[in-house]
Structure 1
C-alpha cells in the first residue's frame, strides 16, 4: 500500500476533525471573552454539536446515493470552515446570527466524521490498517484541536483560536478533493425516507451490527462523564478544579499513543475480540484510578486506560464496514457516530447530576460502563460473516 495513500487520507480526515475537536473549546472561551456570558458560551457550543445527531441519518443517505460523495464531503468541510470563520466575529455579529451559522456547521459534521470513515477502505485497501489510520485521525483531532485552541487563546485571543479552527476545516475541504472518492455501490432503491428506514432497520435488527452499535454507544456514555468526574476528583483531593484538566489530558495522550501504535501495528485478533477486550481494559483501569493513592496514581491509571481506545475504535469501524451492505454503509457509519456523540453528551449530563455521589464512586461507575460495553461483545455471533460485498 503506497504511503502517499495514507498521507493523503490523513491530510483530508485530520484537519476537519481537529476543527470539530477544537471548536467546542474555542466557542465558550470566545463567548466569555466577547460578552462575559458563560451561559451563552454553553448554548453556542451546543449549537455546534446538537445538529449532528439529527443530521446523521440524512447525511448517510445522501452519501450512499451520491455519484460524487467526495464533493459532498468537501462542501460540508467548506460550510464548517465558513461557519467557524463567521462565529469568530461574535460581538460585532449578533449572537443569534452566530448560532445560526454554527447550526449549519454542526449539521455538516457527520460528513467528515462517520461519513468520511465509510470511504477509508476505498483509499487504503488493507481494512485493518485503514481503520487504524482512521482512528488515528480521530485521536489527532481530539488531542491537537483543543491544544491548538488553548495555545492560541493564551498567546493571542479566542477569536484567533476560532479562526484557526475555521482554517483547519477549510484545509480538510481542500484535502478531500484529491481522494477522488467514488460511490460505494449501486444506491438503494426507493425514496430517501424509505432508504433511511431501511438503514435504521438494518442497524437495529442485524445482530452483529446491533451489538457493536449498542456497545460502542454505551462506551461513549462512560467516556462523556470522564471530564466531570475528573473535575470532581480534583476538587475533592486538592481543592482546585484545575487538576481535572490534567486527568483528561492524560486520557487523551494515552489514546493518541495507542492510536500511533495501532496504526503501525494493527491488532490481528478478531475485531469483536479486540473491541471487547479493549473496552474492558479501559474500564478496569478507570476503576483502579478511583483508588485514593494520590492524584498522580489517578493520572497514570487514566492515561493507561486511554491506550486501548484506538484499537477498540478501529475494530468497531471495521465491523461496521463488514456488517453493512455498500448501499447502506455511509448511513451505518453516520448513525453510529451520531449515537456515540449523543451518548457522550448524555454521559456528561448524568455525571454532572450524579457528582454528589463523590468522585471515587463516579469514576467506578464510569469504569463499569466501559466494562459492560466490553462484555456486550460476548453476545457477538461467532459465525458472523462479512456481508459488505
Structure 2
C-alpha cells in the first residue's frame, strides 16, 4: 500500500463525514426552512457511530475480509447520503433513517481503517502521520466543498457531492487489499467486545491516552460555539466565527502536512502531551482582546499541533493493542472522541452566557489538562502489538 493509495482510500470518506454535518443543516433550511430539523438530522448522521463503534471494531477484528467490509461501509454511506440529498421530496423520517444507517457505517472508516494502515506502511510513525493527514484533509476540504457547492449551486448538490466522495472512498479501498491482523477468532462476539473494553479500561498506557484523547475533544467540540460567541461579542457579526474556526482547521492541515513529511523523533506520549498542551496555551492566548487578527493568528497556531499529537495517539493505540483487539480499540477510541466533541459543543452552548473570553479560556484549559494527563503514562511501557 503506497502513501498515495492510502490517502485515496481514507480521505474521501472522512471528507464526506466532515462535510455532511454542514450540508444537512443547510439543506433543511433550504428545503423546509427548519433549522432545528437540520440539527436533529445532523445528530442522526453522527450519533449512531458512538453505539456502533465496539460492534464494528469487534467485527473487523474477527472477519477474514476486512477490506470488503470497509468498502461496503463506504457504499452504504454513499447510498445513505444520496437518499438524504432528496430531503423535501422525501420525508424527514425517511431521511433520518438513511442517515442513521450511514452513521452506523461511519466507524469502519473513521477508526477501523486506521487500525490497518501499518500493515502495509512499515514505518509506524509515518503511517499514522499519513493517517492524521487524511483526517485533517477531510475536516478542512469537506466543509469547504459543501460551502462552495451550496453557494454556487444548492445544498442538494453539496449533499450529493458528499455521497460521491463516500463512493470514491469505497472504490479506493479495493486496491489496498486489506488483510486480517489477528488469527482466527475464538469465542463469541460478546466476549470479544467485553475483552476489548476490559483492555481499554485496565491496560494503563491505553487507558491514559484514551482518557486524554477523549477529554481533549470535549474542548475541541466547544470551539465553534466559542468562536461565534466571541465574534458576536466583539463585533456583532456571527459570521466572523467561521473565520476563527477556519483558522484552526488550516493550522491543523499545515501541521499535518509538516508532520507527514517529518514526523517528530520524540516518544509518542511526549509528542501527544506536549501537542495537546500547546494547543491549549495558544487557545488561552486567543482570548486576549487585542483584535481579531490576533485571535485568528493564535487559533491558527493552536491548530498546528493537533496533527502530530493525533498521530502520536494513533501510534500508541496500535502499539498497546494486541492484534485480536486492535480494530475495536481504534473504533471505540474514535467513538469516545466523537461523543466527547458533541458533549463539548452542547456544554459550550449552555455556558455561552458566561462570556466568550471565559469560554475560550476554559476550552484552552481543557486542552492543557488533557496534555497534562500524559504525565501518568508509564514511561517503561513496551509495545505489545507483536
- Scaled by the length of structure 1, what TM-score is found? 0.99
Runs of 4+ aligned residues of structure 1 deviating over 6 Å after TM superposition are none
Q: Find the aligned partners of 2:32 and 2:79 in 1 and give their Cα distance.
A: 22
Asked if structure 2 preserves the Cα contact closer than 8 Å seen for 1:17 and 1:141, the reply is yes
2:117 matched residue in structure 1: 120
1:313-363 superposed Cα distances (whole Å, 9 cap, x missing partner):
000000000000000000000000000000000000000011111011101
Deviation at 1:295, TM superposition (A): 1.1
Q: Find the aligned partners of 2:11 and 2:179 in 1 and give their Cα distance.
A: 20
**Matching of residue 262 in structure 1 with residue 222 in structure 2:** no
Indicate the SS of the match to 1:275.
Answer: helix
Q: Find the aligned partners of 2:280 and 2:246 in 1 and give their Cα distance.
A: 17
1:127-185 superposed Cα distances (whole Å, 9 cap, x missing partner):
00000000000000000000000000000000000000000000000000110000001
- Selected match of 2:370 from 369, 373, 385: 373
- Selected match of 1:163 from 155, 160, 164: 160
Deviation at 1:378, TM superposition (A): 0.5
1:217-366 superposed matches below 5 A: 217-366=214-363
1:357-386 superposed Cα distances (whole Å, 9 cap, x missing partner):
101110110000000000000010011000
Q: Find the aligned partners of 2:87 and 2:286 in 1 and give their Cα distance.
A: 40
**Matching of residue 46 in structure 1 with residue 47 in structure 2:** no
Deviation at 1:250, TM superposition (A): 0.1
Q: Find the aligned partners of 1:228 and 1:37 in 2 and give their Cα distance.
A: 20
Q: Find the aligned partners of 1:123 and 1:229 in 2 and give their Cα distance.
A: 40
Aligned residues: 386
1:79 matched residue in structure 2: 76
Q: Find the aligned partners of 1:143 and 1:285 in 2 and give their Cα distance.
A: 20
Q: CA RMSD in A?
A: 0.6
Indicate the SS of the match to 2:381.
Answer: coil
Asked if structure 2 preserves the Cα contact closer than 8 Å seen for 1:203 and 1:210, the reply is yes
Q: Find the aligned partners of 2:48 and 2:203 in 1 and give their Cα distance.
A: 27
1:15-65 superposed Cα distances (whole Å, 9 cap, x missing partner):
000000000000000011111111111111000000000000000000000
1:231-252 superposed Cα distances (whole Å, 9 cap, x missing partner):
0000100011110000000000
Q: Find the aligned partners of 2:186 and 2:222 in 1 and give their Cα distance.
A: 41
Deviation at 1:188, TM superposition (A): 3.9
Moved more, 30-39 or 186-195: 186-195
1:198-228 superposed Cα distances (whole Å, 9 cap, x missing partner):
0000000000000000000000000000000
**Matching of residue 8 in structure 1 with residue 5 in structure 2:** yes
- Selected match of 2:145 from 148, 154, 157: 148
Q: Find the aligned partners of 2:291 and 2:195 in 1 and give their Cα distance.
A: 51
Q: Find the aligned partners of 1:298 and 1:17 in 2 and give their Cα distance.
A: 28
Deviation at 1:296, TM superposition (A): 1.1
Q: Find the aligned partners of 2:368 and 2:272 in 1 and give their Cα distance.
A: 11
Asked if structure 2 preserves the Cα contact closer than 8 Å seen for 1:255 and 1:306, the reply is yes
- Scaled by the length of structure 2, what TM-score is found? 0.99
Runs of at least 5 residues in structure 1 that lack an aligned partner in the other structure: none
Q: Find the aligned partners of 1:165 and 1:147 in 2 and give their Cα distance.
A: 11
Asked if structure 2 preserves the Cα contact closer than 8 Å seen for 1:143 and 1:253, the reply is yes
**Matching of residue 182 in structure 1 with residue 179 in structure 2:** yes
- Selected match of 2:200 from 191, 195, 203: 203
Deviation at 1:114, TM superposition (A): 0.4
1:216 matched residue in structure 2: 213
Asked if structure 2 preserves the Cα contact closer than 8 Å seen for 1:188 and 1:328, the reply is no
2:132 matched residue in structure 1: 135
Indicate the SS of the match to 2:2.
Answer: helix
1:261-320 superposed Cα distances (whole Å, 9 cap, x missing partner):
000001110000000000000000000000110111000000000000000000000000
